[in-house]
Amino acid sequence: MQLAKRVLAVKPSATLAISAQAKELRKKGENVINLSAGEPDFATPDYIKDAAINALKENFTKYTDTAGIKELREKISLKLKKDNDLNYSPREIIVSTGAKQALYNALMVLCNPGDEVIIPAPYWVSYPEMVRLVEAIPVVLPTKNFRIEPEKLERKITKKTKVIILNSPANPTGVVYKKEELEEIAEIIVRHNVHCLSDEIYEKIIYDRIKHISIATLNDKIKNLTILINGFSKSYAMTGWRLGYAAGNKEIIAGMKKLQSHSTSCPNSIAQKAALAALGGNQSEVERMRKEFEKRRNFLTKRLNEIKGIIFSEPEGAFYTFLSHPQISDSLNFAKELLEKEKLAVVPGIGFGKEGYLRISFAASLREIGEGIKRLKRFIENS
Ligand SMILES: Cc1ncc(COP(=O)(O)O)c(C=O)c1O
């Protein structure tokens, strides 16, 4: 069988091997601790679920506007104003099947085959593969202390550069960019007239009272070049509902709408009503989950500091710690052995474009985190 080149070019996920192995061990009755999750372990808040139940009862079960129902786009527009001080009209917003579809569609709309997309590393696993799927070229930008160095970014820009991906708060590093850093990055993007795909999905999961700043807020020029991506998966514990959105220049959004009309038609109608309730309700549940993540981050940091040789910086946002240790040279092998010997599942750094590291998720209970780090410590000490 001969599959299309665009699919053959996509690498299978290095991380999937670990989660498949973890599931297999669990099935056999092994006591596996899973610190590899990429989603909140909390249930979707009840008021959101109730809105979905009502949508079903009211037979809100048909195709909707391709870009998402107007009420939801209006609510997102209000949210962007209130939380981010950004003005986007509902025509400049598209609701998609997860932030993932919004990212993918934006790349489809912006990139021609052979165009280059700059991806700072460590990166979220899907960015390079999405870029390959749209037949563009991922250009990996190494970072310093996981932060973009503006002069190195500028050196990577060529005539073929179309997009720079920015992810703050970041998966897997927990980095949150400060205003001054964003200003330097924005200045380069504007000067070279490229686009910025700003993935802000972890916006609400942020610590130490740091404030999330969207690069689009800096000035009108960068706003016009930015496609802001956000969604409901992480902030509202709604990963399975598959709802995200993009905001940007109306021509880009119209292109994404055209694409969506021929691929998924529209986002899920019931999930849209749930998302409307999520944004409309009181945001105390979001804050409750954030506080819980902060408590877990503090606990994890303390426990990791007890392991000799571990190097990491405390995450400022998202729910991952990205760490290294002299014993982690081949991260995939290390993660496999850790799972086999200690029944602890973590994600190897190689999947994020950084060898010698592991990603530990703290979207798990304090008990699981405590037990997981105990196992990691024992594994390192006995190796
Ligand atoms: C950085 C980043 N962007 C986007 C997504 C996808 O979010 P969604 O569930 O809305 O598709 C994830 C999910 O893991 C992520 O980590």
Provide the pLDDT for residue 51.
Answer: 98
pLDDT at site 330? 96
Question: What is the whole-number distance in angstroms between the Cα of residue 26 and the centre of ligand 1?
Answer: 25
Provide the pLDDT confidence category of residue 292 given band limits of 50, 70 and 90: very high
Neighbours of 88 (CB within 10 A): 24
For residue 19, the model assigns a pLDDT of 79
User: CA dihedral defined by 305, 310, 313, 317, rounded to 10 degrees?
Assistant: -80
pLDDT in tens, 258-288: 999 999 999 999 999 999 999 999 899 999 9
The pLDDT tens digits for 124-174 are: 999 999 999 999 999 999 999 999 999 999 999 999 999 999 999 999 999
Give whole-number Cα distances, 282 to 45, 285, 286, in Å. 11, 8, 9
Report whether residue 175 contacts ligand 1, using a CB cutoff of 6 Å: no
Cβ-contact 92, 247 below 8 angstroms = yes
Q: Say how far apart CA 182 and CA 189 lie, in whole Å.
A: 10
Q: Are the C-beta atoms of 358 and 335 separated by less than 8 Å?
A: yes
Return the percentage of the chain with pLDDT > 90, whole number. Answer: 93
Classify the C-alpha dihedral 23-29-30-32 as positive or negative.
positive
The pLDDT, as a whole number, for residue 243 is 98
| CB of 233 sitting under 6 A from ligand 1 | yes
CB 131 within 8 Å of CB 111: yes
Please report where in the chains the tokens 């038609």 appear, as a residue.
265
3-state helix, strand, coil in the chain (%, to 5): 50, 15, 35
Sign of the torsion formed by the C-alpha atoms of 177, 236, 20 and 321: positive
Tens of pLDDT, residues 188-199? 999 999 999 999
Does residue 99's CB lie within 6 angstroms of at least one atom of ligand 1? yes
Instruction: Check pLDDT > 80 for residue 12.
Output: no
Q: Which atom of ligand 1 is nearest to the CA of 100?
A: 11
Residue whose Cα lies nearest atom 7 of ligand 1: it is: 99
Q: What is the pLDDT of residue 52?
A: 98
Q: What is the pLDDT of residues 181-225, one digit of tens each?
A: 999 999 999 999 999 999 999 999 999 999 999 999 999 999 999
Cα dist from 205 to 19, 147, 226, 250, 362, whole Å: 24, 19, 22, 28, 12
Taking alpha carbons only, the member of 158, 131, 155 closest to residue 142 is 155
The C-alpha atoms of residue 54 and residue 268 are separated, in whole angstroms, by 15
For residues 29-44, average pLDDT: 94
Map residue 157 onto helix, strand or coil: coil
Residue 11: what pLDDT?
A: 81
98 lines ligand 1 (CB under 6 A): yes
| Residue 78 predicted with pLDDT over 90 | yes
